[in-house]
Structure 1
């Protein structure tokens, strides 16, 4: 049975480190071996620092997949869609690798990130390193509970992990859409609570959706809640803050690539019966977006064999 990467369905942590790489040309054979070693590296650290609850994700960019693993490709894996949304630039970028590190200790994340950099040195170039953090017990920088529609318990695995019957080779893997969003915190904070709740479509304290008569069809809640009939997904988001930039890393995992595409269209107001794009995007800007596939540990190890 395929062993999934534990960072996909993990519970929320206090700290996150996200390392984005582009691979050096001609280093594919070595990188296959290096990437297969990463889960073992993280396992050793997780045992040594057991109280930190360390987990990880090794994700392969959609544009790089065929170069790194030319013998098999997940069904539906494609470059991040550059959709024609009016006045909204998704800023898609072709990133080759994402290494996600999450734990309850910032120093453990630092140690893990340093070991990743040492392992990949000379084979992949670091493009970006973003530090995320848990904010006010699971809220985004809006002050509202983040991802209130997320599946719970065993439903996480159903939503996020590829089923072995549908794709035996990629069982336990997950499709991933990532957004780095820059949030206009100063303008947001000028709104009163009622205005914020109208935009978000939910109560600021409890996170419960507003009653249907009060909830706009293009409120954030109405647009991002999963379409149960078409498939659900799992969000593992984290706020980040830099001296001049505050925002959110949004990571959406799903067992079906098409569900991610349809959800993105809904948020941009491009899906059928949509009545507008997500109102929260009036206070956000996409710094970059990318599409990845997160293979199972079993796949990483098998693909590294001669």
Structure 2
């Protein structure tokens, strides 16, 4: 039975670190071995720092997959859609590798990232390293609870992990969309509380949905609530003096679920034709598509 990467369905953590890397050409054989070592490295650190709840996810970019694993490709794995609508650009970037590290201790994240980069040294080039954090009780910088519709408990695995009956080779893997969004805090703060709640579609304190009479068709909740049954979100705010926003990761058992959720937010789906109003307060700086294979797949591929 295939074993999933534990970081996909993990509970919320206090700290998230994200390594975006591109691989050197011709290093595929070595990288197959190195990538399989990373979960083992994380397991050792997690045992040593047991209170930190350390987990990780290793994901391979859609454009790099065929070079790294030429024998089989996950069904429907495609590059991130390249669409521009009005003032919204998705900024898709081909990234070869994404490694997500999460725990309740920032120092443990730093140690894990240092050791991962040492393992990959000489075979990859670090494009960016992002740092996210848990804000209050799971809110983003808008002050609202982030993704209140997110699946929980055992339902996470059903939503995020590939079914063995549908794709035996890629069972327990997950399709991933990664986005970095910069938030216009000053513009957002110009709205009244009522206006903010209309944009979001739910109460700022309790996260309860607004009544049907108050819910606007382009509210964030109206644009995203259907995704709660098909997409698992793992979002974290990030903050720097001159830029802040949201690191958004979406996991799904099927590639089309991620694309459908994106198209609904953009208002280009059959179900929804209104763009998510919240996007007026964000600028998307980076988008990329990945697949996070199971631990079993990583280990078997390293032996080949």
After TM superposition, the score normalised by the length of structure 2 is 0.98
User: Which residue number corresponds to residue 263 of structure 1?
Assistant: 261
- Between the aligned partners of 1:250 and 1:122, the Cα distance in structure 2 is 29
Matched, 1:187 2:187: yes
Separation (CA, whole Å) in 1 of partners of 2:227 and 2:66: 31
CA contact (8 A) 1:217 1:275 kept: no
Contact 1:177 1:253 in 2 (8 A): yes
Count of residue pairs the alignment pairs up: 304
Structure 1 residue runs of 5 or longer lacking an equivalent are none
How far the C-alpha of 1:7 sits from its partner, in A, is: 0.4
- Greater than 4 Å deviation, 4+ residue runs: none
- Tell me what 1:108 maps to: 108
Q: Is the contact made by 1:226 and 1:233 (CA closer than 8 Å) also made in structure 2?
A: no
**Cα distance, 1:276 vs. partner?**
1.2
Q: What is the deviation of 1:242?
A: 1.2
Confirm or deny: 8 A CA contact 1:24 1:124 kept in the other structure: yes
Deviations 1:82-118 (A, max 9, x none): 1242221000000000010000000000000000111
What's the offset of the Cα at 1:162? Answer: 0.2
Report the TM-score, using the length of structure 1 for normalisation: 0.98
Which position in structure 2 is the counterpart of 1:51?
51
Q: Distance in 2 between matches of 1:227 and 1:48?
A: 37
* Preserved contact between residue 182 and residue 246 of structure 1 (Cα < 8 Å): yes
**Structure 2 equivalent of residue 172 of structure 1:** 172
Q: Which residue of 2 aligns with 1:19?
A: 19
Q: Distance in 2 between matches of 1:257 and 1:287?
A: 22
Residue pairs, 1:1-306, within 5 angstroms: 1-226=1-226, 232-306=230-304
SS of the residue 2:213 aligns to: helix
In 2, the alpha carbon distance for the partners of 1:193 and 1:50 equals 41
Unaligned runs of 5+ in 2: none
RMSD: 0.9
Asked if the contact 1:85/1:270 (under 8 Å) is kept, the reply is: no
